[in-house]
């Protein structure tokens, strides 16, 4: 696995992250790994959502509120 060095991290930020890690019973290193993994996954989800929006753009879409009202009135 690769190593990562982050320079010039604000002391207050580092302290907050350390407290967060402690609250979850994790080491600071483990907490930072989790944060980075989640950020990478979120970026992937955003790309997928953007791709889906691009594929659906220009099409007419039914208002889901209307569909729900129709379904409830049955």
Per cent of the chain over pLDDT 90 is 68
The total of structural domains in the chain comes to: 1
**Residue 73 banded pLDDT, cuts 50, 70, 90:** confident
Flag whether the pTM goes above 0.85: no
Confidence band of 42 (pLDDT split at 50, 70, 90)? very high
Let me know if residue 61 belongs to a domain.
no
Tens digits of residue pLDDT in 21-30 = 999 999 999 9
Give the 3-state secondary structure of residue 14.
helix
What is residue 47's three-state secondary structure? helix
Q: Is 48 left (phi over 0), alpha (psi -120 to 50) or beta?
A: alpha
Range of the domain at 48: 10-54
């Amino acid at each position: 696995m690769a190593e990562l060095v982050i320079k010039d991290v604000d002391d207050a930020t580092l302290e907050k992250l350390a407290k967060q890690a402690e609250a979850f019973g994790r080491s600071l290193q483990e907490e930072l790994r989790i944060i980075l993994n989640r950020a990478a996954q979120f970026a992937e989800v955003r790309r997928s959502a953007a791709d889906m929006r691009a594929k659906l753009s220009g099409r007419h879409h039914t208002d889901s509120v209307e569909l729900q009202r129709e379904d409830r009135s049955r």
